[in-house]
Amino acid sequence: MKSRTWQSRLPERKADPAFEAMNASIGVDIRLIRHEIAASKAHAAVLADAGIYTPAEHDSVNRALDSLAEEASSGSMDASGFEDVHSLVEHRLTELCGGAGAKIQTGRSRNEQTATAQRLYMKESASAAAGAIQSLMNAMIEKASENMDAIMPGYTHCRPAQPIRFSFYLAAHVAGLSRDMGRVQDALRRLDECPAGSGAVAGAPFGLDREKAARLLGFAMPSLNALDSVSDRDMQIEIVSCAALLMVRLSRIAEDLILWSSPAFGFVSLGDTYCTSSSLMPQKKNPDALELIRGKAARVAGDLTALLMLCKGLPTGYQKDLQEDKERLFDAVDTVLSCLAVFEGVVREMTVNAGAMKSAIGPECMATDEADMLVQKGMPFRQAYSQVASAIAAGEYGNGTAAVSPEDSVERRRSAGGTAKSRVAAMLEAARTSSPIM
Protein backbone atom coordinates (compact mmCIF):
# COMPACT_ATOMS: atom_id res chain seq x y z
CA MET A 1 0.00 0.00 0.00
CA LYS A 2 1.34 3.44 -0.97
CA SER A 3 2.13 5.93 1.79
CA ARG A 4 -1.01 7.53 3.21
CA THR A 5 -1.50 11.27 3.14
CA TRP A 6 -2.09 11.11 6.90
CA GLN A 7 0.81 8.74 7.73
CA SER A 8 2.83 11.41 9.60
CA ARG A 9 0.15 11.52 12.32
CA LEU A 10 0.74 7.82 13.14
CA PRO A 11 4.47 7.25 12.49
CA GLU A 12 4.62 4.01 14.52
CA ARG A 13 1.52 2.51 12.96
CA LYS A 14 1.76 -1.13 11.89
CA ALA A 15 -0.34 -2.28 8.99
CA ASP A 16 -2.85 -5.10 9.33
CA PRO A 17 -3.51 -6.43 5.80
CA ALA A 18 -7.13 -7.28 6.64
CA PHE A 19 -7.83 -3.74 7.83
CA GLU A 20 -5.89 -2.19 4.95
CA ALA A 21 -8.14 -4.06 2.52
CA MET A 22 -11.25 -2.98 4.44
CA ASN A 23 -10.12 0.65 4.65
CA ALA A 24 -9.26 1.05 0.98
CA SER A 25 -12.02 2.20 -1.37
CA ILE A 26 -9.93 2.59 -4.54
CA GLY A 27 -11.50 -0.50 -6.10
CA VAL A 28 -14.88 1.21 -5.98
CA ASP A 29 -14.24 4.95 -6.22
CA ILE A 30 -11.73 4.77 -9.07
CA ARG A 31 -14.69 5.26 -11.38
CA LEU A 32 -14.91 8.81 -10.00
CA ILE A 33 -11.47 9.70 -11.34
CA ARG A 34 -12.76 11.99 -14.10
CA HIS A 35 -14.88 13.84 -11.61
CA GLU A 36 -12.03 14.03 -9.08
CA ILE A 37 -9.70 15.50 -11.71
CA ALA A 38 -12.34 18.05 -12.75
CA ALA A 39 -12.86 19.08 -9.11
CA SER A 40 -9.08 19.38 -8.65
CA LYS A 41 -8.84 21.69 -11.66
CA ALA A 42 -11.56 23.92 -10.23
CA HIS A 43 -9.84 23.91 -6.83
CA ALA A 44 -6.51 24.83 -8.42
CA ALA A 45 -8.20 27.79 -10.10
CA VAL A 46 -9.54 29.19 -6.84
CA LEU A 47 -6.20 28.55 -5.13
CA ALA A 48 -4.57 30.63 -7.86
CA ASP A 49 -7.08 33.43 -7.32
CA ALA A 50 -6.32 33.30 -3.58
CA GLY A 51 -2.57 33.61 -4.22
CA ILE A 52 -1.72 30.10 -3.06
CA TYR A 53 -0.50 29.24 -6.57
CA THR A 54 1.67 31.46 -8.70
CA PRO A 55 0.60 31.68 -12.34
CA ALA A 56 3.45 29.32 -13.29
CA GLU A 57 2.44 26.79 -10.62
CA HIS A 58 -1.19 26.95 -11.67
CA ASP A 59 -0.22 26.34 -15.27
CA SER A 60 1.96 23.40 -14.24
CA VAL A 61 -0.86 21.85 -12.19
CA ASN A 62 -3.38 22.31 -15.00
CA ARG A 63 -1.11 20.58 -17.48
CA ALA A 64 -0.48 17.75 -15.03
CA LEU A 65 -4.21 17.28 -14.41
CA ASP A 66 -4.81 17.19 -18.17
CA SER A 67 -2.16 14.49 -18.40
CA LEU A 68 -3.88 12.52 -15.63
CA ALA A 69 -7.19 12.85 -17.46
CA GLU A 70 -5.58 11.34 -20.56
CA GLU A 71 -4.15 8.50 -18.45
CA ALA A 72 -7.56 7.84 -16.95
CA SER A 73 -9.38 7.86 -20.28
CA SER A 74 -6.82 5.55 -21.89
CA GLY A 75 -6.94 3.10 -18.98
CA SER A 76 -3.19 3.33 -18.43
CA MET A 77 -3.32 4.78 -14.92
CA ASP A 78 -2.00 2.42 -12.24
CA ALA A 79 -4.26 2.74 -9.19
CA SER A 80 -2.87 -0.24 -7.28
CA GLY A 81 -1.78 0.35 -3.73
CA PHE A 82 -3.69 3.58 -3.18
CA GLU A 83 -6.27 4.09 -0.46
CA ASP A 84 -8.76 6.00 -2.61
CA VAL A 85 -9.12 7.99 -5.80
CA HIS A 86 -8.39 11.25 -3.99
CA SER A 87 -4.98 10.15 -2.70
CA LEU A 88 -4.21 8.66 -6.12
CA VAL A 89 -4.74 11.99 -7.89
CA GLU A 90 -2.82 13.93 -5.23
CA HIS A 91 0.12 11.48 -5.38
CA ARG A 92 0.31 11.47 -9.18
CA LEU A 93 -0.04 15.24 -9.32
CA THR A 94 2.86 15.63 -6.91
CA GLU A 95 4.91 13.19 -8.98
CA LEU A 96 4.30 15.25 -12.11
CA CYS A 97 4.80 18.77 -10.79
CA GLY A 98 6.47 18.50 -7.39
CA GLY A 99 5.70 21.16 -4.79
CA ALA A 100 2.91 22.68 -6.83
CA GLY A 101 1.17 19.32 -6.81
CA ALA A 102 1.65 19.02 -3.07
CA LYS A 103 -0.25 22.29 -2.61
CA ILE A 104 -3.46 20.94 -4.16
CA GLN A 105 -4.94 19.91 -0.81
CA THR A 106 -4.65 23.40 0.63
CA GLY A 107 -7.96 24.26 2.24
CA ARG A 108 -9.77 21.09 1.21
CA SER A 109 -10.51 17.65 2.60
CA ARG A 110 -11.40 14.26 1.20
CA ASN A 111 -14.71 14.79 2.96
CA GLU A 112 -15.65 17.49 0.46
CA GLN A 113 -13.88 15.77 -2.42
CA THR A 114 -16.02 12.64 -2.29
CA ALA A 115 -19.17 14.73 -1.95
CA THR A 116 -18.22 16.85 -4.96
CA ALA A 117 -17.15 13.93 -7.17
CA GLN A 118 -20.30 12.01 -6.33
CA ARG A 119 -22.51 15.00 -7.14
CA LEU A 120 -20.83 15.34 -10.53
CA TYR A 121 -21.36 11.61 -11.11
CA MET A 122 -25.00 11.78 -10.01
CA LYS A 123 -25.74 14.72 -12.31
CA GLU A 124 -24.38 12.74 -15.26
CA SER A 125 -26.19 9.56 -14.23
CA ALA A 126 -29.53 11.26 -13.61
CA SER A 127 -29.36 12.90 -17.04
CA ALA A 128 -28.52 9.52 -18.61
CA ALA A 129 -31.45 7.91 -16.78
CA ALA A 130 -33.80 10.65 -17.97
CA GLY A 131 -32.75 9.99 -21.56
CA ALA A 132 -33.20 6.23 -21.14
CA ILE A 133 -36.66 6.66 -19.60
CA GLN A 134 -37.64 8.90 -22.51
CA SER A 135 -36.42 6.27 -25.00
CA LEU A 136 -38.48 3.56 -23.30
CA MET A 137 -41.52 5.84 -23.29
CA ASN A 138 -41.02 6.49 -27.00
CA ALA A 139 -40.87 2.73 -27.69
CA MET A 140 -44.12 2.21 -25.76
CA ILE A 141 -45.82 5.10 -27.56
CA GLU A 142 -44.82 3.66 -30.94
CA LYS A 143 -45.97 0.15 -30.01
CA ALA A 144 -49.29 1.52 -28.73
CA SER A 145 -49.82 3.56 -31.90
CA GLU A 146 -49.18 0.48 -34.04
CA ASN A 147 -51.80 -1.54 -32.10
CA MET A 148 -54.57 0.97 -31.43
CA ASP A 149 -57.33 -1.49 -32.33
CA ALA A 150 -56.09 -4.44 -30.27
CA ILE A 151 -58.62 -5.02 -27.48
CA MET A 152 -57.95 -7.23 -24.49
CA PRO A 153 -59.41 -7.97 -21.07
CA GLY A 154 -58.42 -5.49 -18.41
CA TYR A 155 -57.67 -7.28 -15.14
CA THR A 156 -58.32 -6.63 -11.48
CA HIS A 157 -57.44 -9.21 -8.83
CA CYS A 158 -55.87 -11.23 -11.70
CA ARG A 159 -59.39 -11.81 -13.08
CA PRO A 160 -60.90 -10.46 -16.31
CA ALA A 161 -62.70 -7.20 -15.53
CA GLN A 162 -63.60 -4.99 -18.51
CA PRO A 163 -62.34 -4.67 -22.07
CA ILE A 164 -59.51 -2.20 -22.65
CA ARG A 165 -57.27 -1.35 -25.56
CA PHE A 166 -53.75 -2.76 -25.38
CA SER A 167 -52.63 0.76 -26.33
CA PHE A 168 -54.48 1.99 -23.23
CA TYR A 169 -52.45 -0.45 -21.13
CA LEU A 170 -49.20 0.84 -22.60
CA ALA A 171 -50.33 4.44 -22.17
CA ALA A 172 -50.89 3.72 -18.48
CA HIS A 173 -47.22 2.82 -18.09
CA VAL A 174 -46.13 5.79 -20.17
CA ALA A 175 -47.99 7.93 -17.61
CA GLY A 176 -46.15 6.17 -14.79
CA LEU A 177 -42.79 6.55 -16.51
CA SER A 178 -43.48 10.27 -16.91
CA ARG A 179 -43.73 10.49 -13.11
CA ASP A 180 -40.43 8.62 -12.83
CA MET A 181 -39.00 11.21 -15.20
CA GLY A 182 -40.40 13.99 -13.03
CA ARG A 183 -38.73 12.55 -9.95
CA VAL A 184 -35.40 12.48 -11.79
CA GLN A 185 -35.92 16.10 -12.83
CA ASP A 186 -36.64 17.09 -9.24
CA ALA A 187 -33.51 15.29 -8.08
CA LEU A 188 -31.40 17.03 -10.74
CA ARG A 189 -32.56 20.41 -9.42
CA ARG A 190 -31.54 19.53 -5.89
CA LEU A 191 -28.25 18.05 -7.10
CA ASP A 192 -27.22 21.36 -8.60
CA GLU A 193 -25.31 22.58 -5.53
CA CYS A 194 -21.52 22.27 -5.32
CA PRO A 195 -19.82 20.97 -2.14
CA ALA A 196 -16.34 22.08 -3.32
CA GLY A 197 -14.72 24.39 -0.77
CA SER A 198 -16.55 22.93 2.23
CA GLY A 199 -13.35 21.58 3.81
CA ALA A 200 -13.56 18.83 6.38
CA VAL A 201 -16.41 20.21 8.44
CA ALA A 202 -16.24 23.99 8.95
CA GLY A 203 -15.64 25.49 5.50
CA ALA A 204 -12.50 26.64 3.70
CA PRO A 205 -9.97 29.31 4.72
CA PHE A 206 -8.02 31.74 2.46
CA GLY A 207 -11.21 33.32 1.14
CA LEU A 208 -11.55 30.63 -1.51
CA ASP A 209 -14.12 31.58 -4.15
CA ARG A 210 -16.70 28.83 -3.88
CA GLU A 211 -18.98 30.52 -6.41
CA LYS A 212 -16.22 30.26 -9.02
CA ALA A 213 -15.56 26.61 -8.18
CA ALA A 214 -19.26 25.84 -8.57
CA ARG A 215 -19.39 27.69 -11.88
CA LEU A 216 -16.33 25.93 -13.27
CA LEU A 217 -17.86 22.55 -12.39
CA GLY A 218 -21.21 23.35 -13.98
CA PHE A 219 -23.22 23.75 -10.76
CA ALA A 220 -25.84 26.45 -10.27
CA MET A 221 -24.46 27.47 -6.87
CA PRO A 222 -22.23 26.39 -3.99
CA SER A 223 -23.85 24.32 -1.27
CA LEU A 224 -25.27 26.39 1.56
CA ASN A 225 -23.60 24.83 4.59
CA ALA A 226 -20.22 23.08 4.79
CA LEU A 227 -21.25 20.74 7.59
CA ASP A 228 -24.31 19.63 5.67
CA SER A 229 -22.23 19.23 2.50
CA VAL A 230 -19.78 16.72 3.94
CA SER A 231 -22.07 14.73 6.21
CA ASP A 232 -25.34 14.37 4.34
CA ARG A 233 -26.12 11.66 1.80
CA ASP A 234 -29.73 12.47 1.04
CA MET A 235 -28.98 13.03 -2.65
CA GLN A 236 -27.50 9.55 -2.98
CA ILE A 237 -30.57 8.20 -1.21
CA GLU A 238 -32.88 10.23 -3.46
CA ILE A 239 -31.22 9.06 -6.67
CA VAL A 240 -31.38 5.43 -5.55
CA SER A 241 -34.97 5.95 -4.41
CA CYS A 242 -35.84 7.18 -7.91
CA ALA A 243 -34.12 4.09 -9.29
CA ALA A 244 -35.96 1.76 -6.89
CA LEU A 245 -39.38 3.20 -7.78
CA LEU A 246 -38.58 2.94 -11.47
CA MET A 247 -37.43 -0.66 -11.08
CA VAL A 248 -40.66 -1.56 -9.27
CA ARG A 249 -42.56 -0.22 -12.28
CA LEU A 250 -40.40 -2.15 -14.73
CA SER A 251 -40.84 -5.27 -12.64
CA ARG A 252 -44.63 -5.00 -12.75
CA ILE A 253 -44.66 -4.51 -16.52
CA ALA A 254 -42.24 -7.41 -16.85
CA GLU A 255 -44.60 -9.62 -14.83
CA ASP A 256 -47.49 -8.76 -17.17
CA LEU A 257 -45.47 -9.52 -20.29
CA ILE A 258 -44.09 -12.76 -18.85
CA LEU A 259 -47.65 -13.98 -18.29
CA TRP A 260 -49.08 -12.60 -21.52
CA SER A 261 -46.30 -14.15 -23.61
CA SER A 262 -46.91 -17.58 -22.09
CA PRO A 263 -48.84 -20.25 -24.07
CA ALA A 264 -51.72 -19.90 -21.61
CA PHE A 265 -52.32 -16.32 -22.82
CA GLY A 266 -50.48 -15.83 -26.11
CA PHE A 267 -51.31 -12.11 -26.12
CA VAL A 268 -47.78 -11.10 -27.13
CA SER A 269 -44.68 -12.76 -28.54
CA LEU A 270 -41.24 -11.73 -27.33
CA GLY A 271 -38.35 -11.30 -29.72
CA ASP A 272 -35.79 -14.09 -29.70
CA THR A 273 -33.07 -11.56 -28.81
CA TYR A 274 -34.48 -11.25 -25.30
CA CYS A 275 -35.25 -14.92 -24.66
CA THR A 276 -33.21 -18.05 -24.04
CA SER A 277 -34.01 -21.76 -24.10
CA SER A 278 -33.60 -24.69 -21.77
CA SER A 279 -30.44 -26.80 -21.58
CA LEU A 280 -32.72 -29.85 -21.31
CA MET A 281 -36.13 -29.12 -22.84
CA PRO A 282 -35.87 -28.14 -26.52
CA GLN A 283 -39.36 -26.69 -26.71
CA LYS A 284 -38.73 -23.89 -24.22
CA LYS A 285 -38.55 -20.18 -25.04
CA ASN A 286 -37.88 -18.51 -21.73
CA PRO A 287 -38.45 -14.78 -21.10
CA ASP A 288 -35.12 -14.40 -19.30
CA ALA A 289 -34.66 -10.68 -19.96
CA LEU A 290 -37.95 -9.86 -18.27
CA GLU A 291 -37.31 -12.30 -15.42
CA LEU A 292 -33.90 -10.74 -14.80
CA ILE A 293 -35.39 -7.26 -14.75
CA ARG A 294 -38.01 -8.46 -12.27
CA GLY A 295 -35.23 -9.90 -10.11
CA LYS A 296 -33.01 -6.84 -10.37
CA ALA A 297 -35.81 -4.70 -8.95
CA ALA A 298 -35.16 -6.47 -5.65
CA ARG A 299 -31.45 -5.69 -5.98
CA VAL A 300 -32.05 -1.95 -6.36
CA ALA A 301 -34.55 -1.98 -3.49
CA GLY A 302 -31.75 -3.57 -1.45
CA ASP A 303 -29.38 -0.75 -2.47
CA LEU A 304 -31.91 1.78 -1.19
CA THR A 305 -32.41 -0.07 2.08
CA ALA A 306 -28.64 -0.31 2.58
CA LEU A 307 -28.20 3.44 2.11
CA LEU A 308 -31.04 4.26 4.48
CA MET A 309 -29.63 1.98 7.15
CA LEU A 310 -26.12 3.31 6.54
CA CYS A 311 -27.20 6.85 7.38
CA LYS A 312 -29.68 6.07 10.15
CA GLY A 313 -28.23 6.98 13.54
CA LEU A 314 -24.97 8.52 12.30
CA PRO A 315 -23.87 11.60 14.21
CA THR A 316 -23.55 14.84 12.25
CA GLY A 317 -20.27 15.24 10.39
CA TYR A 318 -18.34 12.91 8.13
CA GLN A 319 -18.03 9.33 9.40
CA LYS A 320 -16.04 6.52 7.79
CA ASP A 321 -19.28 4.53 7.49
CA LEU A 322 -20.11 6.80 4.55
CA GLN A 323 -17.38 5.17 2.50
CA GLU A 324 -19.97 2.43 1.90
CA ASP A 325 -22.31 4.76 0.02
CA LYS A 326 -20.65 4.63 -3.39
CA GLU A 327 -20.96 0.91 -4.05
CA ARG A 328 -24.70 1.02 -3.49
CA LEU A 329 -25.09 4.17 -5.59
CA PHE A 330 -23.05 2.79 -8.48
CA ASP A 331 -24.86 -0.55 -8.38
CA ALA A 332 -28.31 1.06 -8.48
CA VAL A 333 -27.39 3.39 -11.34
CA ASP A 334 -25.69 0.66 -13.38
CA THR A 335 -28.62 -1.70 -12.84
CA VAL A 336 -31.36 0.75 -13.76
CA LEU A 337 -29.57 2.00 -16.89
CA SER A 338 -28.98 -1.54 -18.15
CA CYS A 339 -32.59 -2.56 -17.40
CA LEU A 340 -34.00 0.47 -19.21
CA ALA A 341 -31.92 -0.31 -22.30
CA VAL A 342 -32.98 -3.96 -22.31
CA PHE A 343 -36.64 -3.16 -21.68
CA GLU A 344 -36.69 -0.77 -24.62
CA GLY A 345 -35.41 -3.59 -26.81
CA VAL A 346 -38.04 -5.97 -25.45
CA VAL A 347 -40.83 -3.53 -26.29
CA ARG A 348 -39.54 -2.74 -29.77
CA GLU A 349 -39.17 -6.43 -30.74
CA MET A 350 -42.43 -7.58 -29.14
CA THR A 351 -45.32 -8.50 -31.43
CA VAL A 352 -48.98 -8.26 -30.46
CA ASN A 353 -51.52 -11.02 -31.10
CA ALA A 354 -54.75 -9.04 -31.29
CA GLY A 355 -56.79 -12.17 -32.07
CA ALA A 356 -55.73 -13.96 -28.90
CA MET A 357 -56.43 -10.84 -26.87
CA LYS A 358 -59.95 -10.48 -28.21
CA SER A 359 -60.67 -14.21 -27.81
CA ALA A 360 -59.92 -13.88 -24.08
CA ILE A 361 -62.75 -11.38 -23.62
CA GLY A 362 -65.66 -13.41 -22.33
CA PRO A 363 -69.25 -12.08 -22.29
CA GLU A 364 -68.97 -11.49 -18.54
CA CYS A 365 -66.47 -8.69 -19.28
CA MET A 366 -69.42 -6.67 -20.62
CA ALA A 367 -71.58 -7.24 -17.54
CA THR A 368 -71.04 -3.68 -16.32
CA ASP A 369 -72.06 -2.38 -19.76
CA GLU A 370 -75.33 -4.30 -19.47
CA ALA A 371 -75.98 -2.77 -16.05
CA ASP A 372 -75.19 0.65 -17.51
CA MET A 373 -77.73 0.09 -20.28
CA LEU A 374 -80.41 -0.63 -17.68
CA VAL A 375 -79.40 2.59 -15.93
CA GLN A 376 -79.92 4.46 -19.21
CA LYS A 377 -83.49 3.10 -19.20
CA GLY A 378 -84.08 4.62 -15.77
CA MET A 379 -83.18 1.79 -13.39
CA PRO A 380 -81.06 2.74 -10.31
CA PHE A 381 -77.54 1.43 -10.72
CA ARG A 382 -77.55 -0.75 -7.63
CA GLN A 383 -80.77 -2.46 -8.81
CA ALA A 384 -79.26 -2.92 -12.28
CA TYR A 385 -76.10 -4.31 -10.74
CA SER A 386 -78.12 -6.83 -8.69
CA GLN A 387 -80.15 -7.93 -11.69
CA VAL A 388 -77.04 -8.66 -13.80
CA ALA A 389 -75.19 -10.20 -10.87
CA SER A 390 -78.11 -12.54 -10.15
CA ALA A 391 -78.17 -13.67 -13.77
CA ILE A 392 -74.44 -14.39 -13.65
CA ALA A 393 -74.76 -16.28 -10.35
CA ALA A 394 -77.58 -18.41 -11.85
CA GLY A 395 -75.54 -19.15 -14.94
CA GLU A 396 -78.12 -17.37 -17.08
CA TYR A 397 -76.17 -14.26 -18.06
CA GLY A 398 -76.38 -13.56 -21.77
CA ASN A 399 -76.71 -17.21 -22.75
CA GLY A 400 -73.14 -17.03 -23.95
CA THR A 401 -73.50 -13.62 -25.55
CA ALA A 402 -73.12 -10.09 -24.26
CA ALA A 403 -75.38 -7.10 -24.67
CA VAL A 404 -72.59 -5.08 -26.30
CA SER A 405 -69.42 -5.98 -28.19
CA PRO A 406 -65.92 -5.41 -26.81
CA GLU A 407 -65.49 -2.63 -29.38
CA ASP A 408 -68.68 -0.94 -28.16
CA SER A 409 -67.60 -1.40 -24.56
CA VAL A 410 -64.24 0.38 -24.94
CA GLU A 411 -65.84 3.19 -26.96
CA ARG A 412 -68.35 3.82 -24.18
CA ARG A 413 -65.39 4.91 -21.99
CA ARG A 414 -65.01 8.31 -23.65
CA SER A 415 -64.48 10.37 -20.52
CA ALA A 416 -61.05 11.83 -19.86
CA GLY A 417 -58.58 9.08 -19.03
CA GLY A 418 -60.77 6.37 -20.57
CA THR A 419 -59.97 3.57 -23.00
CA ALA A 420 -61.95 4.91 -25.98
CA LYS A 421 -59.81 5.28 -29.09
CA SER A 422 -59.98 9.07 -29.20
CA ARG A 423 -58.90 9.31 -25.57
CA VAL A 424 -56.00 6.90 -25.98
CA ALA A 425 -54.86 8.72 -29.12
CA ALA A 426 -54.91 11.98 -27.16
CA MET A 427 -52.88 10.42 -24.34
CA LEU A 428 -50.25 9.17 -26.76
CA GLU A 429 -50.07 12.48 -28.61
CA ALA A 430 -49.66 14.38 -25.35
CA ALA A 431 -46.87 12.03 -24.29
CA ARG A 432 -45.27 12.20 -27.74
CA THR A 433 -45.19 16.00 -27.86
CA SER A 434 -44.24 16.68 -24.25
CA SER A 435 -40.71 18.02 -23.80
CA PRO A 436 -38.23 15.37 -22.66
CA ILE A 437 -36.87 16.09 -19.22
CA MET A 438 -33.10 16.32 -19.38
pLDDT at 1 over 90: no
Report whether 165 contacts 421 (CB < 8 A). yes
Question: Over the stretch 377-388, which tens digit does the pLDDT of each residue have?
Answer: 999 999 999 999
Q: What is the CA radius of gyration of the chain?
A: 29
**Closest CA relative to residue 166, chosen from 411, 358, 294:** 358
pLDDT at 227 over 60: yes
pLDDT at 41 over 70: yes
Q: Which residue has the higher pLDDT, 7 or 84?
A: 84
> Residue 203: left (phi > 0), alpha (psi -120 to 50), or beta?
left
pLDDT at 58 over 60: yes
pLDDT at 6 over 80: no
CA–CA–CA angle 7, 8, 11 (5° rounding): 85
pLDDT at 435 over 80: no
**Measured between alpha carbons, how far is 277 from 281 in angstroms, rounded to an integer?**
8
Percent pLDDT > 90 in the chain is 90
Report CA-CA distances (Å) from 73 to 31, 124, 282, 326, 340. 11, 17, 45, 21, 26
Q: Which of 2-6, 72-76, 423-427 has the highest mean pLDDT?
A: 423-427
Report whether 199 contacts 109 (CB < 8 A). yes
Mean per-residue pLDDT, 420-436 = 89
Mean per-residue pLDDT, 387-402 = 81
pLDDT confidence of residue 438? 31
Question: Over the stretch 253-284, which tens digit does the pLDDT of each residue have?
Answer: 999 999 999 999 999 999 999 999 999 999 99
Question: Over the stretch 293-325, which tens digit does the pLDDT of each residue have?
Answer: 999 999 999 999 999 999 999 999 999 999 999
Pairing relation of β-strands 151-156 and 159-165? antiparallel
Report whether 251 contacts 297 (CB < 8 A). yes
**Measured between alpha carbons, how far is 407 from 19 in angstroms, rounded to an integer?**
69
pLDDT at 19 over 90: no
pLDDT band at 82 (very low <50, low <70, confident <90, very high): very high
**Measured between alpha carbons, how far is 34 from 12 in angstroms, rounded to an integer?**
34
Catalytic residue numbers?
A: 157, 278
**Measured between alpha carbons, how far is 196 from 219 in angstroms, rounded to an integer?**
10
Percent pLDDT > 70 in the chain is 97
Amino acid (1-letter code) at residue 196: A
The full DSSP string for 10-23 is STT----HHHHHHH
pLDDT confidence of residue 14? 86
**What structural domains and CATH numbers belong to the chain?**
7-106 (1.10.275.10), 111-204+225-359 (1.20.200.10), 363-422 (no CATH)
The full DSSP string for 71-126 is HHHHT----TT-SSHHHHHHHHHHHHHHHHHHTTTTT--HHHHHHHHHHHHHHHHH
Report whether 361 contacts 151 (CB < 8 A). yes
Question: Over the stretch 200-218, which tens digit does the pLDDT of each residue have?
Answer: 999 999 999 999 999 999 9
**Mean pLDDT for the chain overall:** 94
pLDDT at 437 over 60: no
Question: Over the stretch 338-379, which tens digit does the pLDDT of each residue have?
Answer: 999 999 999 999 999 999 999 999 999 999 999 999 999 999
pLDDT confidence of residue 436? 45
**Measured between alpha carbons, how far is 226 from 202 in angstroms, rounded to an integer?**
6
